[in-house]
Chains A and B, each alone.
Chain A
Amino acid sequence: MNRFWSLLFLLVPIGGVATFVVAPYYNIWLPRDVSEQGHKIDSLFMFILWLTGIVFIGTQLVFVYFSWKYEAGTNKQPVKYSHGSHSLEVVWTILPAVTLLFIAIYQMDAWAEAKMRTPGLLPIVEVTGRQFNWDFRYPGPDGELYTRDDIVRTDGNLYLPVDEQVLLRITSADVLHSFFLPNMRLKQDVVPGMDQSMWFKAKQEGQFDIVCAELCGWGHYKMKGRVHFVTRADFDAQLETFRQEQNKVLADPPVVR
């Protein structure tokens, strides 16, 4: 058991790599990507994961090797102190710097596409974060927000058309929130007093999570919603249902128990 510590530390790279290998089989990997542009984010993620993964394994193996080789129980030689190597220090400073600079430049296009090249569309919905709910305001039949025919829903269900580029306007009624669509690979911080935008094209119909990704208060954990991607026809029909419901003047007949 002389080399106990080096073997113990060997568990770190083994466990670390095993976690990533096993993760997809236990459904703790990335959520399903149903967006058109999400693969760019995912490929960036994978690129950085491989890069850091290889460096991680390499450095860990060096650690294990040294702790194995210079185990105190087997090495009787006294320790020698050295000032270090100047050229080695230059190398291990420049290499990471160049790598980081490369990543910074390499990701620029993905960033610009997700955050800067706003499409010239009218917002299909305004999303308002408030403690602790997401409220949705659709423009209504006239296509314009903040008019009398707006349709406002506060029940956390957001309907959007599939296979269509959509633009969302995102605001906050009180504090910082973050509108996060994991399946779209998009996340937008919401700052009170500022208009934020988010745009994407969903490729699959279905229901997906909306979550708040910025700790906004004690009820943060329940500030969630569901986005429904439906066909354009279904979307229009859904909005018409909402419109009629919102114009309701007659109560349902009472149910007397």
Chain B
Amino acid sequence: MKLKQMMVSGMKSMLQRTGMNRYFIVVPYIVGMGLFLLLTGCEQSQPPEFRLNMVQMVSLETAPAYQQEIADVLGALFGTPDEPFAMPETGLDQSQLKLAAGPAWSGEEGSVYGLYRKHCVHCHGVTGDGRGPTARFLNPYPRDYRAGTYKFKSTYNATKPTDKDLYAVLYHGVPGTAMPSFALLPSSEIETLVEYVKYLSMRGQMETELINYVAEELGEEDGERIPFDPVSDQEQRGVIQEILAEIASDWGASAENVIQAEEAQLPQENRTAEEIAASVELGRALFYGNKANCLKCHGPTALGDGQRDDQDIWNKSNKKFQDDTALLLERVNENQGTSDLDAAGRERLATDVKVLAVRETVAARLYPVRNAIPRNLRKGIYRGGRRPLDIYRRVHAGIPGTPMPGSGPASLGAKGTLTDVEIWNVVDYVLSLPYEGPSQPQRALPVNAQNIAN
């Protein structure tokens, strides 16, 4: 007790002697705030990293050691989100990647850095896997670039989009989705973002191929792991170069794969109302006919109420992973319930339990699977653009990654389901649908009406 009193009075007299009594609140406050800012404001966060495609890795049971090696190889080929790097073979512009990557900031005289993180990352994610923080709340989910598959483009279904196609998506946005327009950015910045999106795609495609390669070619030999080490293994290096060359040549060839409509068959600018109506009638017959069979998915009313239980490739791969995990869980539960397992059975159960644990952690992070709902053609909202040219391309090439098939030739010189004239008829019909009264009696009876569930 005495000690405490002594301390208090000693403190008081010290404060009085030093004339500090008035400031003994203010000074610690300022010092405290300074410390607070020092600790919180100036702290550097961890640099972001590219995330590995765990769905594919776990599906193919890639060992952790291989996962690390694949990450290392990808890092050597493509760098990091802060320091992107593109091999000269990719044809990517290194200086543009530098502008697009890294943290967002503005330099002197209007040069802007970190464009991707400023505009895109919160939906499409650092890796370009369509898993940014906002993604979970959006419908449709943001595009996962890693498959290198793009929906709205001018090229044949199986080929890559042109730079112009990607530019157009950024310029006009995607109506009917959460993808906004970036038309207010300078065109150089949009081009920079296009380059970075291609970079993320190439990196993702490379990752997919590497995981497949490791799963198919490498593994254990005589009880010893064959390392994935292209630095010392000439053959593996050759394989990587081959894959890279193929990816790059696919992207490089996109401009040659643009669908060219036959000029002689183009609808004329000055068609009369009767001519358009005649074309619409033909289009309607095709829509309900067996050949184009649009009503199978878009439904007899064109409200998109036909087949709705399919998924696009991005959701499908997640669904497969979840289904397989559920099957495995079932098998584990079943085997754990039986008491008369032989030695091999017990060993298998032990591996199953281990695999299941890994699969479940990955599956828990996946978003709920969404079905691909066919477009309601009466709303007048066209995600890939509303020009007849855009609709022509959708009907001709289909929409890659989705159940929408192409009706035109699949490649230059091939034969398509529909002729160019027929595609233009369908285009006319589709463009007339939003303005056709919903109660208008259906004139062309579906040929395959019996195939449609009511």
Binding site for B on A (CB under 8 A): 1, 4, 130-133, 135, 147-148, 152, 154-157, 217-219, 222-226, 245-251, 254-257
Tell whether, in the assembled complex, residue B180 and residue A219 are in contact, meaning their CB atoms are under 8 Å apart. yes
Given A152-B175, A218-B137, 17 more pairs with CB closer than 8 A: A1-B22, A132-B180, A133-B179, A147-B435, A152-B380, A154-B172, A155-B171, A157-B183, A157-B184, A218-B133, A218-B134, A219-B134, A249-B267, A249-B424, A251-B154, A254-B256, A255-B255
Other-chain contact of A248, B173, B388, B424, B431 (Cβ < 8 Å): B388
Q: In the assembled complex, how far is the CB of residue A75 from the closest CB belonging to chain B, in whole angstroms?
A: 16
Tell whether, in the assembled complex, residue B392 and residue A249 are in contact, meaning their CB atoms are under 8 Å apart. yes
> Which A residues touch B266, using CB under 8 A?
249-250
Q: List 16 A-B contacts (CB under 8 A).
A: A131-B178, A132-B178, A133-B180, A155-B173, A155-B181, A217-B178, A218-B122, A218-B123, A218-B137, A219-B180, A248-B388, A249-B389, A250-B261, A250-B389, A251-B259, A254-B162
With contact pairs A133-B180, A217-B134, A225-B184 given, residues A154 and B261 touching in the complex (Cβ less than 8 Å): no
Other-chain contact of B386, A152, A217, A251 (Cβ < 8 Å): A152
Tell whether, in the assembled complex, residue B134 and residue A222 are in contact, meaning their CB atoms are under 8 Å apart. no
Shortest 8 CB-CB distances between A and B: which pairs? A155-B183, A133-B180, A218-B134, A254-B258, A132-B180, A248-B387, A256-B255, A156-B181
> Which A residues touch B183, using CB under 8 A?
155-157
Give the CA-CA distance A56 to B434 in the complex, in Å: 59
Give the CA-CA distance A222 to B189 in the complex, in Å: 15
With contact pairs A1-B22, A155-B173 given, residues A223 and B162 touching in the complex (Cβ less than 8 Å): no
Q: Is B51 an interface residue (CB 8 A)?
A: no
Q: In the assembled complex, how far is the CB of residue A195 from the closest CB belonging to chain B, in whole angstroms?
A: 17
Tell whether, in the assembled complex, residue B388 and residue A247 are in contact, meaning their CB atoms are under 8 Å apart. yes
> Which B residues touch A223, using CB under 8 A?
180
With contact pairs A148-B432, A219-B123, A219-B180 given, residues A254 and B255 touching in the complex (Cβ less than 8 Å): yes
Other-chain contact of B387, A147, A157, A245, A256 (Cβ < 8 Å): A245
Binding site for A on B (CB under 8 A): 22, 119, 122-123, 133-134, 137-138, 154, 162, 164, 171-173, 175-176, 178-181, 183-184, 252, 255-256, 258-261, 263, 266-267, 269, 380, 386-389, 392, 424, 431-432, 435
With contact pairs A155-B171, A223-B180, A226-B184 given, residues A249 and B261 touching in the complex (Cβ less than 8 Å): yes
> Which A residues touch B263, using CB under 8 A?
250
Q: In the assembled complex, how far is the CB of residue A131 from the closest CB belonging to chain B, in whole angstroms?
A: 5
Tell whether, in the assembled complex, residue A246 and residue B387 are in contact, meaning their CB atoms are under 8 Å apart. yes
> Which A residues touch B256, using CB under 8 A?
254, 256
> Which B residues touch A226, using CB under 8 A?
184
Give the CA-CA distance A222 to B170 in the complex, in Å: 13
Give the CA-CA distance A219 to B135 in the complex, in Å: 11
